[in-house]
Amino acid sequence: MKTVTIKDVAARAGVSPKTVSRVINGEDHVRPEIRETVQRVVAELNYRPNAFARSLSSSRSYLLGLFIDDPVSGYAAEVQHGALLQCRERSYHLVVEPVDRQRAGWQDHVRASLSGLRLDGAILAPPICDDAELLGIFADAGVPYVLIGPSYPPRDSGAVWMDDRAAAGEMTEYLLSLGHRRIAFIQGPESHSASARREEGYRAAMKAAGLAVNEDAMLRGDFSFRSGLELGELLLDLPETPTAIFACNDDMALGALITAMKRGVAVPDALSICGFDDVASSRAAWPQITTIRQPNAEMAAAAVDILVDPAFRKDCADPAFRLMLAHAMILRGSTGPA
């Protein structure tokens, strides 16, 4: 099968190879109708630019990096998937770099990665997106970056996030509407700003309902399945057991669900359980877990679009490159009336 070249695309579209290159690279000075024609021909011919040849003919590498602290979590899988598919659409390549800040010398590892990879840009996922030292390393290296879910929108870089506080408030209000009053809450790690925002939403909804939060039923997890298992045991051992458990992410909700089933506590008849994120595990469980759908893949895809936008490379502080995406509450079988 003959390999499609840029000259084939140019001939079919009736333009020069240089124009095709400008369209593929997202450059300015191409009329909208020409851009649309070239993009249509690229799709028809299934043309895929040669990344090595492109990097040789320009100052760019067409390589983006995704830096994340836990690359094997369900959340990370969705972020990687969204970034990877969008990189493919934009004719870029993606490299995933884990950042283990518990490991001595992690800073040197990041510096070596930035030096060796020659990235055109990077996506920083939570919680490392809030690490001032890490951001300083990227600034020193001159690598533009987009933050996913930062604790607050930055002024000098791109960012994509959702309203964790509002989403957690909506979930708590839903549990209250089912008649639940003893609602336990499994927090995420203190180092993760989203955990704090979700707790704020939970507390605000409880206060608005005129209910005091039982601090004994507020337990700190680490977003892992194992912590959900262990904390589920503690919550079910409370003198006044909760009628609902709201976990700060789906992995912990799944752990609490397994603990309930192991102890013969019927879900949702005797105990409702809900999570946050809508990762694959929430849909694979039985009953399936009620959760907040966080647009993980969409946020990663939006981050890719920002990084490859020529306007972002000119002015990364432009507010147009700071986006909040919508969430959704997904009601499933793990929640029911108190």
Smallest CA-to-CA distance from 267 within 254, 250, 280, 252 is with: 254
Tell me what pLDDT residue 304 has: 97
Question: Looking at residue 53, what is its pLDDT?
Answer: 54
10 Å CB burial of residue 127 (0-12, 13-18, 19+) is buried
The single-letter DSSP state of residue 265 is -
Angle in degrees, 0-180, between the axes of helices 6-13 and 17-24, rounded to the nearest 10: 100
pLDDT at 133: 95
What b-and-e string marks burial along 103-114, b requiring 16 or more CB atoms within 10 Å of the CB?
Answer: eeebeeebeebb
Note down pLDDT in tens along the chain; length 338 residues: 567 788 888 888 898 888 887 787 767 678 888 888 888 888 888 887 765 555 444 567 889 999 999 888 888 999 999 999 999 988 899 999 999 998 999 999 999 999 888 899 999 999 999 999 999 999 999 999 999 999 887 888 999 999 999 999 999 999 999 999 999 999 999 988 899 999 999 999 999 999 999 999 999 999 999 999 999 999 999 999 999 999 999 999 999 999 999 999 999 999 999 999 999 889 999 999 999 999 999 999 999 999 999 899 888 888 889 999 999 999 999 999 99
In this structure, how many other beta carbons lie within 10 angstroms of the beta carbon of residue 5?
Answer: 15
Note whether 93 and 121 are within 8 A (CB).
no
C-alpha count within 13 angstroms, C-beta hemisphere, residue 18 = 2
Q: Which CATH superfamily is domain 63-162+296-326 in?
A: Response regulator (3.40.50.2300)
| Helices 32-45 and 6-13, packing angle to 10 deg | 130
Cβ neighbour number for residue 325 with a 10 Å cutoff: 15
Are the C-beta atoms of 227 and 255 separated by less than 8 Å?
yes
Gap between the Cα atoms of 146 and 307, Å rounded: 7
Whether cis (ω within 30° of 0) applies to the bond prior to 268 is yes
* Antiparallel, parallel or unpaired: β 145-148 and 183-187: unpaired
**In the chain, what is the straight-line distance between the N-terminal and C-terminal CA atoms, in Å?**
63
Q: Where are the domains of the chain?
A: 1-41, 63-162+296-326, 164-294
Per DSSP, what are the bridge partners of residue 122?
A: 65, 145
Question: Who contacts 112 (Cβ-Cβ below 8 Å, separation ≥6)?
Answer: none
Q: Whole-model pTM?
A: 0.80
CATH class of 164-294: alpha beta
What is the rounded CA–CA span in Å between residue 335 and residue 171?
11
Domain 1-41: homologous superfamily in CATH: lambda repressor-like DNA-binding domains (1.10.260.40)
Peptide bond into 127 cis (omega under 30): yes
Domain 63-162+296-326 and domain 164-294, same fold? Reply is yes
Q: Which residues pair with 121 in a beta bridge?
A: 64
| Residue with tokens 């337990």, as numbered in its chain | 219
Residues in CB range of 102: below 8 A, 6 or more apart: none
Please give the Cα distance from 163 to 290 (Å, whole number): 18
Side-chain half-sphere of 41: how many Cα atoms within 13 Å? 24
Q: What is the pLDDT of residue 43?
A: 82
Q: What does the alpha-carbon distance between residue 76 and residue 280 come to, in Å, rounded to a whole number?
A: 11
Residue type, 11: A
Buried b or exposed e, range 177-196, using 16+ CB within 10 angstroms: eeebeebbbbbbbeebbbbb
CA–CA dist 213, 176 (Å, integer): 13
pLDDT at residue 56 in the model: 45
